Amino acid sequence: MEDVAREAGVSRALVSLVMRDSPKVSPAKRSAVLESAAALGYSPNRLASRLASYRTNTLGVLFLDLHNPVFADIYDGIADGLAGSGNQVMVAVGSADPGTELEAVRSFVDLRVDGVILAGYTGSPEDLAAALRGTPAVVITRELEVDGVDSVLCDDFRSGALAVEHLHGLGHRRIAHVDISEWLPYTARREGYLWAMRQFGLEPLLVHSDMTERGGRAAMNNFLASGAAVPTAVFAHNDLTAIGIMEALASHGLAVPDDVAVVGCDNIEVAASPLIGLTSIDQHAGELGRLAAGAMLKRLAGGPGPAVARKLEPALLVRRSTGPGAAP
């Protein structure tokens, strides 16, 4: 920078201004600076500028899992919602390990990102608040009551109820739910399922799995091997699990939807594929990402304040997996 300034015959401060295209610099000097910068192959060290300016114009986005395509949809929404705001996105990927996500958040905070967007967070509100140290955050898919942390989600309780209502309407009475791990803080879908089952006077049947295709397959295989009476319908926590369930059913010679109807959740792209035809409950992933970006921008502009939550209404999309012929 020193060199560029000398080469262009100006001061370092002027170079700094040009690099951030400030309007308060004469066109002549500007082009002179730009020219010698190009000649010297200079580009500003952003670490230094961030350190000095206290502003990084960078948002950290944490994904729980790259394998679930719903996160790609969320990413697109975030990118769309941030477009033109001058903010950069830094992505981190969590993992099954519960400590990893907090580690990633801490890392974002140590890097002084302006805000953190969490697409899925499985830890406690207290741990998150501690890791954030006041950095604004938006959590997608979960409602957290932490100051400065907004929530954007789809009504999970309603999603669970919607699935049961749909299946009940088709005549199903033995409706199972393949859920996630018991200890995860995502309980609303299960509760919606349980609530609706009770409303209809039906006996709930809960099986736990791990949110993956493989997990869904294993859960259903285990169940079928157990010799227990097979339900006529299954509601899975997400589409990946639902697809795994369909695979297990197929490998046991059970037809979908005639023997067993299946409902998933998320409405990932492949669910709509004619090869799969999975009835699913759309969580509006793209819209959630867009809203999260909007909420973050608003908070960045508006300063601290109490948590704001935005909850979307889920939408049932009926496809072949609960289609005609599904009546038991």
Partner DNA sequence: GTGAAAGCGCTAACAT
Partner DNA sequence: ATGTTAGCGCTTTCAC
Tokens of 36: 């010698």
Q: Which stretch binds DNA (CB under 7 A): 23-31, 191-199, 231-239, 285-293?
A: 23-31
Tell me the window of 87-95, 116-124, 219-227, 229-237 that interacts with its own copies (CB under 8 A): 87-95
Q: Residue 260 and residue 250: Cα distance in Å, rounded?
A: 10
Only segment of 120-128, 142-150, 269-277, 289-297 that touches its own copies (CB under 8 A): 269-277
Q: CB under 5 to 8 A by kind: which of DNA, its own copies, none does 273 bind?
A: its own copies
Residue 254 as a binder of its own copies (CB under 8 A): the answer is: no
Helices (H), the chain: 2-8, 12-19, 27-40, 46-53, 70-82, 98-110, 125-132, 156-169, 188-199, 213-226, 239-251, 285-302
Residue 68 CB, nearest distance to its own copies (Å)?
9
**Angle subtended at Cα 134 by Cα 146 and Cα 16, rounded to the nearest 5 degrees:** 145
Provide, rounded to whole angstroms, the least separation between the CB of residue 52 and DNA: 3
Among 11, 31, 88, 222, binds its own copies (CB under 8 A): 88
Minimum distance between the CB of residue 89 and DNA, rounded to whole angstroms?
A: 20
Minimum distance of its own copies from residue 105's CB (angstroms): 12
Nearer to DNA, 52 or 229 (CB): 52
Token pair, residue 309, equals: 């939550």
Residue 92 dihedral angles phi and psi, to the nearest 5°: -130, 155
CA atoms within 13 A on the CB side of 300: 21
DSSP state of 241: H
273 binds its own copies (CB under 8 A): yes
Query: Least separation, in Å, of the C-beta of 111 and DNA?
Result: 12
Q: What own/partner pairs with CB < 8 Å and gap ≥ 24 does 141-144 have?
A: 141/186, 141/283, 141/288, 142/185, 142/186, 143/309, 143/311, 144/307
Phi, psi of 138 (to 5 degrees): -130, 130
- Contacting its own copies (CB under 8 A), which of 13, 47, 96, 308? 47
Q: Judged by CB under 8 A, does residue 30 bind its own copies?
A: no
Nearest of 84, 63, 85 to residue 74 by alpha carbon: 63
Query: Helix and strand tally (H, E) in the chain?
Result: 12, 12
Q: Is 106 in the site for its own copies (CB under 8 A)?
A: yes
Q: Is 110 in the site for its own copies (CB under 8 A)?
A: yes
Footprint on this chain of its own copies (rule: CB under 8 A): 41, 43-48, 50-51, 56, 66-67, 69, 71-72, 75-76, 79, 88-93, 95, 106-107, 109-112, 133, 213, 243, 246-247, 250-251, 269-270, 273-276
